[in-house]
């Protein structure tokens, strides 16, 4: 055993702080820690504070591993390097003043090669009824190189030992003696040395259960379901400014008692400024001015004659009207009053045309419900932006009224239909037949206008408008999404998930021609966390698809972000600048007019055009498991290969029934152009895959294709030359001529040089920064939206602590088998991923170029990954 290898497990270390010290000390000195309660044969050292009767201790003894006390690591940290193990080996006390090191005997026997394990030559029939205990003894015996069988053993097997628990007479005559399982301890340490060991061999679960109560998996499941249900049903937006709002104390019928005839006379005489000034002092709780008067004033405000003072006073009147008579707290008659008021005074077609015209006028777009003075005048822009602000205020108030009670306490999940009757939110964005879908026709129009506004507000910082239109529209979108989700969460949670997915993918689709800075700006400024999470995911996947990078389709989780999205950043960093998604503005597509011309219909036409170029049957598989990509590579149909690889989500490493990839086929048949096409694809194919030990390089050399062999080596370097086939032959063994060997070595050197340059350099920094920004938003928002709990409930042991202890007993996949709530399933999987990160796993998922990048957003993402690792260590400390 080489002393330079240090792979550890722990057993019997109960203090959380000591565990953390040992874990950090191992990492600091370059060692590796493997968690879990079962013995792992890959370890070189086991840390225990004293002799135990645990599975890990006995298995490590039987396998000849180092068994040391915690001081070995602690003192090595102080020393700055690993110390010698002998002074720290665990001793077994056999008397008042005597100690023995029985484990040393087995370690020396295994190290010298005289034995492969303490149970070498044993052929064991293991008869243990309880499955968990049987699996533990099976691991223990195999660690000592015993052959283990269960009833009935093969007929041609010569059994040497029958081990049973509970101890019985030999139940079956196999010509072997029957022993209790405690015979394992007696064999390892001798009869006289077992006096301090418990005959009841335990695993780490049993030790934990002795100290704590058994984990009740049924109760744990119920608590997890309760937690995720509360998390999903909680309000995401909070508007404390509405807490002081009250329903009008004066009935609306008293409005007729106030004399508004003077105001009417002023309006008839064209004295709009005077009429508005008079109305400012006539708005009180329960008092609603006659609707025709306000409509006339709104109509005048949209003309070229309205002054900036008039527009400002008009906003004050409307805002005061909402404050004194909040429609969300008023009877249905008041709600109808506002619905009739907040529509175009000329068209009178409802709230949405009025709202849409206000947005388009702020965008200098002529497609309004009726002609307005143009070009856009600053005073009228202010008026229409004030109109948007008033709409947003009412929408926020309506959402607030269904999520907060009179005392500020959250109401139950879901909203009754009666509560929301007459709400302006519903009548503006959904017809009666669209309320079961989030992505209504009006919501689609709003998102299209939002993208156009974002291009103006975010893309060109030097010419940014004074009016931050995009931020207002993003707030409006967040409110309507949260309102709809809150209403449907209890009715149909699956409907909510589908609605959010459809909307987020729609936003990503209509942003096809936008700059990356616009996309990241939209994601970063969304206030609804669940919408932000889904949009960030949709945009990230869109960026990958546009650059022909395949990502998995499973639901979003920490595991997906770590194992699928993080590696993508390395591919984004190496994408040629500006090839697939614009990161800088271009004269052709940056102008607002060009964006306005790019309607949804044109996007649909583009998608249809792309579908026409898709090769027929590219998804079909023949009896050999070959796809059209396999066949095209075999037949050297380069054009077809290019067509297939241009499709989003294509797996370039797809295997047939035997395991051959398209690269195997192209190399085997000597089709150099197909090989070049595959190697130039991003992500690049795996060149080290083996079938019966043969890599694509073996295929090329066996068939005499030297040009392809050199191309593979120039792509992957010396790594390919180090792989042997099923007969132990290395690639250079297949070449007889010395000059050909030299050529292959030069190609491999060139490949290594290229690889070193690629991993340390970033070819497309803007694209990497955008990807890092989106992924950082994903991780941060996911933690807020679906984070693993810390201390929940009034139980003596927190939900997080019980969850981590349960994961020590069985993996997440087994624990959640049969669960129907996917949020609960992913919560368990997320906890498992965080624990894996705390153990230093998955570090290889981050490309070196990404780690070394000095971009601000990429560096922030790396810090965020460190935070995730710390969160995992916090969870691990619960054990």
When pLDDT is cut at 50, 70 and 90, the band that residue 81 belongs to is very high
Q: For residue 358, what are the CA distances in angstroms to 46, 311, 369, 378, 479? A: 71, 14, 9, 13, 19
The answer to whether residues 246 and 329 touch, using CB atoms and an 8 Å cutoff, is: yes
Q: Using alpha carbons, select from 821, 829, 786, 815 the residue that is nearest to residue 220.
A: 815
In the chain, domain spans: 7-112, 237-429, 628-746, 765-876
- Report the 10 Å Cβ neighbour count for 78: 9
Give long-range contacts, CB 8 A cutoff, 24+ apart: 191-194.
192/94, 193/92, 193/94, 193/100, 193/102
Give the range with max mean pLDDT: 7-11, 137-141, 475-479, 692-696. 475-479
- Report the 10 Å Cβ neighbour count for 674: 27
When pLDDT is cut at 50, 70 and 90, the band that residue 806 belongs to is confident
DSSP line for 212-232? SPPP-HHHHHHHHHHHHHHHH
Q: Please tell me the distance from the alpha carbon of residue 765 to that of residue 749, in angstroms, as a whole number.
A: 27
Q: Please tell me the distance from the alpha carbon of residue 356 to that of residue 347, in angstroms, as a whole number.
A: 13
End-to-end Cα separation, the chain, in angstroms: 31
Flag whether pLDDT at 492 surpasses 70: yes
CATH number attached to the domain at 628-746: 1.25.40.20
pLDDT in tens, 228-287: 888 888 888 888 888 778 777 655 554 445 678 888 888 888 898 888 888 888 887 878
The answer to whether residues 373 and 380 touch, using CB atoms and an 8 Å cutoff, is: yes
Class (C level, CATH) for 7-112: alpha beta
Q: Please tell me the distance from the alpha carbon of residue 785 to that of residue 536, in angstroms, as a whole number.
A: 13
pLDDT in tens, 689-722: 888 778 899 889 988 899 999 999 988 888 788 7
Q: Please tell me the distance from the alpha carbon of residue 242 to that of residue 396, in angstroms, as a whole number.
A: 9
The answer to whether residues 116 and 145 touch, using CB atoms and an 8 Å cutoff, is: yes
The answer to whether residues 120 and 161 touch, using CB atoms and an 8 Å cutoff, is: no
Q: What is the mean pLDDT of the chain?
A: 80
**64-78, 184-198, 209-223: which range is least confident on average?**
184-198
The predicted model gives 18-45 an average pLDDT of 83
The strand pair at 161-165 and 147-149 is best described as unpaired
Flag whether pLDDT at 544 surpasses 90: no
pLDDT in tens, 278-308: 888 888 787 888 999 999 999 998 888 889 9
The answer to whether residues 558 and 785 touch, using CB atoms and an 8 Å cutoff, is: no
Q: Please tell me the distance from the alpha carbon of residue 186 to that of residue 118, in angstroms, as a whole number.
A: 12
Decide: helix, strand or coil at residue 317.
Answer: helix
When pLDDT is cut at 50, 70 and 90, the band that residue 355 belongs to is very high
Flag whether pLDDT at 212 surpasses 70: no
Write the Ramachandran bin of 261: left for phi over 0, alpha for psi from -120 to 50, otherwise beta: alpha
pLDDT score for 600: 32
The answer to whether residues 123 and 43 touch, using CB atoms and an 8 Å cutoff, is: no
The answer to whether residues 254 and 286 touch, using CB atoms and an 8 Å cutoff, is: yes
The predicted model gives 336-351 an average pLDDT of 89
Q: Please tell me the distance from the alpha carbon of residue 155 to that of residue 519, in angstroms, as a whole number.
A: 68
Q: Please tell me the distance from the alpha carbon of residue 445 to that of residue 432, in angstroms, as a whole number.
A: 18
Rounded to 5 degrees, what are φ and ψ at 627?
-90, 175
% residues pLDDT > 70 (the chain): 82
When pLDDT is cut at 50, 70 and 90, the band that residue 446 belongs to is very high
Q: Using alpha carbons, select from 668, 675, 671 the residue that is nearest to residue 715.
A: 675
Q: Please tell me the distance from the alpha carbon of residue 67 to that of residue 60, in angstroms, as a whole number.
A: 7
Of residues 315 and 489, more confidently modeled: 315
Helix (H) or strand (E) holding 832: helix 822-838
Decide: helix, strand or coil at residue 505.
Answer: helix
Q: HEC string of 787-807?
A: CCCCCCCCCCCCHHHHHHHHH
Q: Please tell me the distance from the alpha carbon of residue 338 to that of residue 397, in angstroms, as a whole number.
A: 13
pLDDT score for 796: 40
Strand order in 66-68's β-sheet? 32-33, 7-10, 45-47, 66-68
Q: Using alpha carbons, select from 797, 799, 825, 801 the residue that is nearest to residue 812.
A: 825
pLDDT score for 491: 74
Flag whether pLDDT at 503 surpasses 90: yes
When pLDDT is cut at 50, 70 and 90, the band that residue 101 belongs to is low
pLDDT score for 182: 81
Q: Using alpha carbons, select from 477, 576, 460 the residue that is nearest to residue 523.
A: 477
pLDDT score for 609: 39
Q: Using alpha carbons, select from 753, 242, 766, 149 the residue that is nearest to residue 517.
A: 766
The strand pair at 92-93 and 66-68 is best described as unpaired
pLDDT in tens, 520-532: 889 999 999 999 9
The answer to whether residues 804 and 845 touch, using CB atoms and an 8 Å cutoff, is: no
Give the range with max mean pLDDT: 112-116, 151-155, 165-169, 410-414. 112-116
pLDDT in tens, 625-682: 888 889 999 998 888 888 888 776 677 888 888 888 999 999 999 999 999 989 888 7
The predicted model gives 556-567 an average pLDDT of 89
Contacts of 396 (CB under 8 A, 6+ apart): 237, 239, 242, 475, 479
pLDDT score for 315: 92
């Amino acid at each position: 055993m080489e002393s330079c290898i240090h792979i550890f497990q722990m057993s019997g270390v109960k203090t959380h702080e000591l565990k953390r010290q040992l874990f950090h000390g191992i990492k600091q000195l370059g060692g590796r820690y493997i968690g879990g309660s079962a013995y792992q044969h890959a370890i070189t050292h086991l840390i225990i504070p004293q002799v135990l009767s645990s599975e890990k201790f006995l298995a490590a003894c039987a396998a000849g591993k180092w068994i040391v006390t915690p001081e070995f690591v602690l003192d090595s940290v102080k020393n700055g390097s690993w110390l010698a193990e002998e002074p720290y080996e665990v001793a077994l006390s056999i008397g008042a003043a005597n100690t023995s090191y029985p484990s040393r005997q087995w370690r020396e026997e295994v190290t010298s090669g005289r034995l492969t394990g303490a149970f070498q030559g044993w052929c064991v029939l293991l008869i243990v009824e309880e499955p968990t205990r049987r699996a533990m003894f099976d691991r223990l015996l195999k660690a000592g190189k015993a052959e283990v069988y269960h009833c009935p053993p093969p007929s041609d097997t010569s059994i040497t030992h029958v081990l049973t628990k509970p101890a019985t007479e030999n139940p079956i005559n196999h010509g072997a003696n029957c022993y209790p399982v405690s015979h394992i301890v007696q064999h390892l340490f001798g009869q006289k040395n077992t006096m301090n060991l418990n005959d009841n061999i335990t695993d780490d679960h049993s030790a934990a259960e002795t100290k704590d109560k058994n984990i009740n998996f049924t109760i744990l499941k119920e608590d997890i379901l309760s937690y995720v249900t509360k998390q999903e049903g909680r309000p995401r937006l909070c508007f404390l400014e509405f807490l002081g709002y009250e329903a009008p104390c004066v009935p609306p019928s008293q409005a007729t008692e106030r004399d508004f005839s003077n105001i009417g006379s002023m309006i008839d005489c064209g004295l709009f400024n005077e009429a508005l000034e008079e109305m400012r002092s006539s708005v009180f709780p329960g008092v609603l001015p006659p609707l025709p008067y306000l409509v006339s004033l709104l109509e005048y405000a949209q003309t070229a004659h309205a002054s900036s003072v008039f527009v400002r006073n008009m906003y004050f009147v409307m805002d005061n009207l909402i404050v004194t008579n909040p429609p969300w707290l008023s009877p249905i008659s008041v709600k109808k009053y506002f619905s009739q008021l907040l529509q175009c005074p000329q068209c009178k077609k409802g709230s949405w045309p009025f709202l849409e015209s206000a947005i388009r006028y702020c965008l200098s777009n002529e497609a309004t419900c009726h002609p307005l003075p143009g070009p856009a005048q600053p005073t009228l822009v202010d008026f229409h932006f004030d109109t948007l602000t008033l709409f947003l205020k009412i929408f926020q108030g309506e959402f607030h009224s269904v999520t907060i009670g009179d005392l500020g306490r959250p109401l139950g999940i879901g909203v009754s239909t009666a509560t929301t009757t007459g709400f302006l939110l519903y009548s503006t964005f959904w017809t009666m037949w669209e309320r079961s879908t989030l992505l209504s026709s009006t919501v689609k129009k709003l998102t299209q206008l939002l993208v156009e506004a974002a291009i103006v507000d975010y893309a060109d910082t030097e010419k940014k408008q004074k009016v931050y239109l995009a931020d207002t529209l993003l707030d409006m979108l967040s409110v309507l999404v949260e309102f709809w989700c809150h209403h449907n969460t209890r009715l149909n949670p699956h409907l909510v998930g589908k609605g959010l997915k459809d909307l987020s993918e729609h936003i990503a689709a209509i942003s096809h021609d936008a700059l990356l800075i616009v996309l990241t700006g939209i994601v970063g400024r969304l206030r609804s966390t669940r919408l932000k999470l889904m949009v960030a995911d949709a945009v990230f996947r869109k960026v990958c698809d546009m650059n022909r990078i395949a990502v998995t389709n499973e639901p979003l989780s920490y595991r997906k972000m770590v194992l699928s999205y993080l590696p993508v950043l390395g591919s984004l960093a190496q994408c040629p600048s500006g090839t697939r998604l614009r990161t800088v503005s271009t004269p052709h597509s940056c102008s607002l007019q060009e964006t306005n011309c790019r309607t949804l219909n044109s996007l649909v036409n583009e998608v249809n055009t792309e579908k026409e170029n898709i090769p027929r049957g590219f998804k079909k598989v023949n009896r050999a498991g070959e796809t059209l990509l396999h066949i095209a590579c075999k037949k050297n149909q380069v054009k077809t290969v290019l067509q297939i690889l241009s499709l989003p989500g294509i797996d370039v490493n797809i295997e047939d029934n035997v395991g051959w990839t398209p690269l195997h086929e192209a190399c085997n048949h000597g089709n150099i152009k197909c090989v070049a096409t595959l190697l130039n694809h991003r992500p690049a194919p795996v060149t080290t895959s083996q079938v019966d030990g043969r890599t694509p390089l073996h295929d090329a050399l066996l068939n005499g294709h030297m040009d392809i062999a050199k191309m593979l080596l120039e792509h992957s370097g010396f790594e390919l030359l180090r792989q042997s086939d099923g007969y132990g032959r290395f690639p250079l063994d297949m070449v007889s001529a010395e000059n050909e060997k030299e050529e292959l070595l030069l190609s491999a050197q060139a490949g290594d040089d290229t690889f070193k340059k690629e991993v340390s350099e970033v070819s497309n920094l803007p694209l990497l920064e955008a990807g890092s920004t989106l992924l950082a938003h994903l991780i941060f928002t996911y933690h807020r939206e679906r984070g693993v709990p810390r201390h929940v409930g009034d139980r003596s042991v927190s939900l997080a602590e019980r969850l981590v202890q349960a994961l020590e007993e069985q993996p997440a996949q087994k624990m959640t088998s049969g669960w129907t709530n996917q949020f609960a399933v992913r919560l368990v999987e997320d906890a498992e991923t965080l624990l894996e990160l705390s153990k230093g796993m998955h570090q290889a998922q981050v490309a070196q170029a990404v780690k070394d990048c000095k971009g601000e957003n990429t560096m922030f993402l790396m810090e965020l990954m460190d935070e995730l690792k710390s969160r995992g260590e916090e969870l691990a400390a619960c054990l």
